C-alpha cells in the first residue's frame, strides 16, 4: 500500500481514477445483472402464470365434463406453443383435489390417476404446497437444488375448484436468458470502461504532468535556478493554474531579488574599488607632484651631465605616465562644464566617424536630442566616446554599431550596441572594474571611468545581450546630474 501511495501522481492519479471507474462500472454492472436476474425470474413467473390463467377456464370445462382427451389436447397444445420466447414448458400436469393426476403431457411419467406424492420428491413437495394453498389462485415455486421451477394454478371458476394445474418449467431456459441479460450488462460495462479508462488516463496525465514538472522544478530550487515551466503545460485558470501562476511569480521574484543582490554587491564592490582607487590616486598625486616639481627644479641646473639629463627625462616621462594613469583613475570635476547641446553629440559623431570608417562599419545613429540639457557636456561626451570606441573596437569588420540617444522620463538614455563578440556573463560581472580589458592594447580603464562618471552623476550603466545577439550598453543619467 505504501508503495502505491509513494508512486508519482503521474501514475497514481490515472491508477486511482481507473480503479474507481472499474469499481463503479463493476458495481453498476453487478446491479444490472442482479436486476436482470430478478427481472428474468419475475418475467418467467408472470409468463407462466399468464399461461396458467389462460388454460384454467378451458381446463375447468373439460374436467367438469370429464373430457380427459380435450384436457390433454389443451395442455399439449400449450406445452408445444411458441410463447413469448421467455417460457418453455417441460411438462404440464392437471391434478384433482386429492393431488391425483387427471392428465399430463407426459403420461408415461405421470400416468392418469397416479398419486402426485409418489411421482418423485419434487412433485411430492409441490403436492404439499398445493395442499397448503388456501385462497391463493396462483403461485410460482422455486425449489432448492431443482432443475425446474413450478407454476401452480387453481383450476377454479368462482369458488368452485376442480383441481390444480401444475406447469413445470426447466431452469435450463432460465440460465441462458439470465446469461443473455448478464452479458448485455457486461457489454455495457465494458463499453463504458473502454470510453472512460482512456479518458481517465488522459485526464490523469493532464492533471499530474504539470504537478510532476512543478515538483521537479521545486526540487531544483536551492541547487540551481530551475527552468521555466512549459507555457502550454496547463493553460486553465483553476486552482492548479493558479498554483502554476504563483510558482512563476515566485520564480520571477526570486530571480529579480537575486539580480538585485548581485547588482548591489557589484555596486558596493565598485564603490569600494572607486574609493580605494581615488584614495590611492590622491596619495600618489601629492608625492608625484612634489617629485615632478623637484625634477623640474633639477632640470634648471646647467651642470647636469648628459647622462643625468637623459635619466631625468626618463623619470619625467615615467612620472607623467603615472600622473596620467592616476588622473584617469581619479574622476573629478576639474572644471565647471557647460551644459550638453546637440552639437556636442554631433561632434562626437564627427570624432569617431574616421574610426568606424576604417572598419567599414555601418553606423546606425539616432539622436533625439534637440536642445540643450542640464548635464555636463564634457563628461557626457567622454562617456559617449568611451562607449562608441569600445563598440567600434568590438564590432566585426563591415559590421554594425548602433547608437540611440533619447530623453526619456527626465533621463538621458544612451544606448550603444555592436555586432561583435558576445561577452560571457562572468566578463560582464567584472567589466566595470579597473584594468579589466577585453581587447589587446586596452588599459582597461575606459569602462571603469565611464562607470565612475555615470554613477557619480546618479545614473546607471548596464550591459546586456540583445535579441539579435548584439552586445548592448545602456547608460541612463538623470537630467541635472552633476559630479
Partner 1 sequence: MKTLLRLFTACFFLLIAMNATSEPFRLGMTSATARGQYPLLEEWRLYLQQKLNHPVTFVFRRSYLECMDLMEQNKLDFAWISSPAYFENVRLSNLLVTPLYHGKPFDLSYLIVPASDHDTASLLNLKDKVFAFVDPDSSTGYIETNYQLLLNNKNPENFFKKTFFTFDDQKIVAAVAIGLADAGSISGFAWDTLAQSRPDITSQTRIVLQSAVHGLSPIVARATLDRHDTLAMQRVLLNMSKDAEGIKLLTRLNIDGFAPADWKLYHNDYLMMQRTGHL
Binding footprint of partner 1 on the chain (CB under 8 A): 66-69, 72, 103, 107-108, 111-113
**Using an 8 Å Cβ cutoff, are 99 and 122 in contact?**
no
Residue 35 burial (CB count, 10 A): 12
Minimal distance, residue 166 CB to partner 1, in Å: 17
Q: Which three cell numbers stand for residue 472?
A: 548592448
Give the separation between CA 450 and CA 380, rounded to whole angstroms.
9
Q: Of 107 and 121, which has the nearer Cβ to partner 1? A: 107
Instruction: Report the nearest approach of partner 1 to the CB of residue 163 (Å).
Output: 14
Give min distance, CB of 104 to partner 1, in A.
8
Closest CB to partner 1 among residues 66, 235: 66
Give Dmax over CA atoms of the chain in angstroms.
Answer: 177
CA distance 87 to 82: 9
**In the complex, what is the shortest distance from the CB of residue 80 to partner 1, in angstroms, rounded to a whole number?**
13
Nearer to partner 1, 103 or 457 (CB): 103
Instruction: Compute the least distance from the CB of residue 69 to partner 1, in Å.
Output: 4
Residue among 78 and 380 whose Cβ is closer to partner 1: 78
> Which is closer to partner 1, CB of 111 or CB of 318?
111
> Of the two residues 101 and 416, which places its CB atom closer to partner 1 in the complex?
101
Kindly state the smallest distance separating residue 176's Cβ from partner 1, in Å: 28
Burial of 434 (0-12, 13-18, 19+ CB in 10 A): buried
Q: Which is nearer to partner 1, 67 or 125 (CB)?
A: 67
Question: Strand 400-407 and strand 362-367: pairing?
Answer: parallel
Give first-to-last CA distance, the chain, whole Å: 73
For partner 1, which is the closer residue by CB, 68 or 428? 68
36 is written with which cell numbers?
436482470
What whole-number distance in Å separates Cα of residue 105 and Cα of residue 29?
A: 40
Give, for 154, the enclosing helix (H) or strand (E): strand 148-157
**Which residues does 409 contact at the CB level (< 8 Å), separation at least 6?**
none
* Nearest approach, Cβ of residue 115 and partner 1 (Å): 13
Asked whether the beta carbons of 392 and 359 are under 8 A apart, the reply is: yes
Nearer to partner 1, 13 or 101 (CB): 101
In this structure, how many other beta carbons lie within 10 angstroms of the beta carbon of residue 424? 9
Count how many residues are written for the chain.
483
Q: How far is the CB of 111 from partner 1 (least distance, A)?
A: 7
Number of H helices, E strands in the chain: 11, 12
- Nearest distance from C-beta of residue 161 to partner 1, angstroms: 20
Residue 57 or 113 with smaller CB distance to partner 1: 113
Q: How far, in Å, CA of 122 to CA of 169, rounded?
A: 13
User: Least distance in Å: CB of 141 to partner 1?
Assistant: 26
Question: Rounded to whole angstroms, how far apart are CA atoms 39 and 180?
Answer: 12
To the nearest 10 degrees (0 to 180), the angle between helices 306-329 and 239-299 is 150
In sequence order, the 6+-apart residues with CB closer than 8 A to the CB of 273 are 433, 434
Amino acid at each position: 500500500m505504501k508503495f502505491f501511495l509513494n508512486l508519482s501522481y503521474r501514475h497514481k492519479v490515472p491508477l486511482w481514477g481507473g480503479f474507481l471507474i472499474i469499481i463503479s462500472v463493476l458495481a453498476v454492472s453487478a446491479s444490472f445483472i442482479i436486476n436482470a436476474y430478478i427481472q428474468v425470474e419475475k418475467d418467467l413467473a408472470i409468463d407462466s402464470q399468464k399461461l396458467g390463467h389462460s388454460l384454467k377456464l378451458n381446463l375447468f370445462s373439460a374436467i367438469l365434463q370429464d373430457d380427459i382427451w380435450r384436457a390433454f389436447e389443451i395442455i399439449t397444445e400449450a406445452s408445444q406453443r411458441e410463447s413469448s420466447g421467455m417460457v418453455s414448458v417441460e411438462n404440464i400436469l392437471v391434478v384433482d383435489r386429492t393431488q391425483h393426476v387427471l392428465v399430463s403431457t407426459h403420461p408415461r411419467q405421470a400416468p392418469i390417476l397416479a398419486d402426485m406424492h409418489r411421482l418423485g420428491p419434487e412433485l411430492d413437495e409441490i403436492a404439499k404446497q398445493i395442499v397448503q394453498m388456501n385462497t391463493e389462485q396462483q403461485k410460482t415455486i422455486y425449489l432448492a437444488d431443482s432443475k425446474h421451477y413450478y407454476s401452480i394454478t387453481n383450476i377454479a371458476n368462482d369458488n368452485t375448484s376442480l383441481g390444480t394445474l401444475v406447469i413445470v418449467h426447466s431452469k435450463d431456459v432460465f440460465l441462458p436468458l439470465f446469461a443473455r441479460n448478464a452479458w448485455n450488462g457486461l457489454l455495457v460495462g465494458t463499453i463504458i470502461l473502454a470510453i472512460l479508462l482512456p479518458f481517465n488516463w488522459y485526464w490523469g496525465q493532464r492533471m499530474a504532468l504539470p504537478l510532476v514538472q512543478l515538483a521537479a522544478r521545486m526540487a531544483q530550487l536551492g541547487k540551481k535556478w530551475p527552468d521555466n515551466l512549459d507555457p502550454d503545460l496547463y493553460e486553465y485558470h483553476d486552482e492548479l493554474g493558479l498554483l502554476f501562476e504563483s510558482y512563476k511569480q515566485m520564480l520571477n521574484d526570486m530571480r529579480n531579488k537575486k539580480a538585485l543582490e548581485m547588482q548591489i554587491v557589484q555596486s558596493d564592490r565598485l564603490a569600494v574599488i572607486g574609493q580605494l582607487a581615488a584614495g590611492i590616486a590622491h596619495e600618489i598625486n601629492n608625492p608625484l607632484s612634489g617629485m615632478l616639481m623637484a625634477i623640474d627644479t633639477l632640470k634648471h641646473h646647467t651642470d647636469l651631465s648628459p647622462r643625468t639629463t637623459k635619466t631625468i627625462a626618463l623619470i619625467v616621462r615615467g612620472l607623467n605616465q603615472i600622473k596620467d594613469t592616476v588622473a584617469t583613475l581619479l574622476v573629478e570635476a576639474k572644471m565647471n562644464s557647460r551644459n550638453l547641446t546637440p552639437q556636442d553629440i554631433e561632434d562626437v559623431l564627427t570624432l569617431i566617424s574616421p574610426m568606424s570608417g576604417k572598419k567599414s562599419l555601418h553606423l546606425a545613429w539616432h539622436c533625439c536630442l534637440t536642445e540643450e540639457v542640464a548635464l555636463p557636456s564634457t563628461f557626457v561626451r567622454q562617456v559617449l566616446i568611451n562607449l562608441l570606441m569600445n563598440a567600434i573596437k568590438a564590432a566585426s569588420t563591415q559590421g554594425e554599431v548602433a547608437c540611440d540617444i533619447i530623453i526619456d522620463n527626465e533621463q538621458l538614455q544612451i544606448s550603444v550596441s555592436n555586432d561583435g563578440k558576445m561577452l560571457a556573463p562572468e566578463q560582464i560581472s567584472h567589466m566595470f572594474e579597473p584594468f579589466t580589458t577585453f581587447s589587446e592594447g586596452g588599459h582597461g580603464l575606459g569602462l571603469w571611468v565611464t562607470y565612475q562618471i555615470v554613477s557619480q552623476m546618479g545614473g546607471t550603466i548596464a550591459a546586456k545581450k540583445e535579441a539579435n545577439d548584439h552586445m548592448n550598453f545602456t547608460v541612463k543619467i538623470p537630467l541635472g546630474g552633476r559630479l
